[in-house]
Structure 1
Amino acid sequence: MNGAAHRASTVVDIQLKRGPAGLGFNIVGGVDQQYVMNDSGIYVAKIKENGAAALDGRLQEGDKILAINGQKLENLFHSAAVELFRTAGEDVQLRVQQRPPMPPANGPSSSRPDNESSYSALGWLGITVATVALITVVYFRFRPVVRRHF
């Protein structure tokens, strides 16, 4: 194994009760508006603050919705999926493929970004090269000229 973490997704059933602002999330995807390349599934784009989904806490942005009230969301146009959500009723059962968790970070923890140290090293390399170039120019410009007479 090459050390990469296995990132399996989890399928869960989530029951939501429609609130005054609906279910509290936006969807993207469909056969006509693929959100993920080569995948016409329906995905959660945004969880609305204080909406039904946010208050429940299990649905996350990036999750794939596989079914609503037992009806699979395969090979649907985006507008057809939206209509299913609009007409789903007050109590809505979602089957959701949750996005895989991010793998833990390896290596020492640091308060600075990972790329900062490489920028620092490149900065020192640039300063060194510039200093050597400056010394070379100054040397050849002001070196004493020795004239030999033959």
Structure 2
Amino acid sequence: MNGSLHPSSNEVDISLKRGSAGLGFNIVGGVDQQYVVNDSGIYVSKIKEDGAAALDGRLQEGDKILAINGVKLEDLTHRATVDLFRTAGEDVELRVLKKSAHHMNGPTGSHPDHNSSASSLGILAVLAGAAAICAFLYMRHHRRHF
């Protein structure tokens, strides 16, 4: 089922035909160079303009590649995965886990997170208040002993 979405997950099968410039995307990750914390998976880091992946339109930056031509990419190094891609042939079947909606086009993905600065200011305000209370108690304590 080319391009069909499996009912219970975000996994998609994508068929690409290798063009003159390859498949038209870059990858990151592997057990030797994790891209996502506690996840040694392989992720699409860049879709090359006018490449096979861009022309197809389904593969997106941030998608996790689970298998190439039925070979699962679990516990593989980056180099081993690159070698699999190089020897995959002209017609390449990918099993892909689509990036979650949380990471897709929206304020969190495309704009700086302003909540973190507000949180930092809030923490600073609380710390300043605590310092003021400590200073007040310190001064009050020392006045009694004069």
Range class of TM-score, shorter chain: 0.5 to 0.7
Distance 1:9 1:35, change over 3 A: farther
Partner of 2:88 in structure 1? 88
Residue 36 of structure 2 corresponds to residue 28 of structure 1: no
- Name the structure where helix makes up a greater proportion of residues: 2
Q: TM-score, normalised by structure 1?
A: 0.63
**3-state DSSP of counterpart to 1:59:** coil
CA distance in 1, matches of 2:23, 2:105: 32
- Whether the 8 Å contact between 1:9 and 1:99 is mirrored in structure 2 is no
Partner of 2:64 in structure 1? 64
Q: Larger radius of gyration, structure 1 or 2? A: 1
Partner of 1:37 in structure 2? 37
Distance 1:101 1:90, change over 3 A: same
Matching of residues 72-83 of structure 1 within 5 Å:
72-83=72-83
Instruction: Name segments (4+ residues, structure 1) moved above 3 Å.
Output: 102-105
CA distance in 2, matches of 1:114, 1:73: 33
Distance 1:48 1:96, change over 3 A: same
Percent identical residues: 75
AA in 2 matched with 1:52: A
Q: TM-score, normalised by structure 2?
A: 0.65
AA in 2 matched with 1:51: G
- Whether the 8 Å contact between 1:42 and 1:66 is mirrored in structure 2 is yes
Residue 15 of structure 2 corresponds to residue 18 of structure 1: no
Q: CA deviation at 1:30?
A: 0.3
Distance 1:101 1:87, change over 3 A: same
**3-state DSSP of counterpart to 1:84:** helix
Aligned length: 104
Consecutive unaligned residues of structure 1, counting only runs of 5 or more, are 1-7, 106-112, 120-150
**3-state DSSP of counterpart to 1:39:** coil
Q: CA deviation at 1:36?
A: 0.3
AA in 2 matched with 1:56: D
Matching of residues 88-107 of structure 1 within 5 Å:
88-102=88-102
AA in 1 matched with 2:29: G
Q: CA deviation at 1:101?
A: 1.6
- Which structure has more RCO (C-alpha within 8 Å, separation ≥ 6)? 1
Distance 1:91 1:101, change over 3 A: same
Superposition RMSD in Å? 2.7
Q: CA deviation at 1:84?
A: 0.2
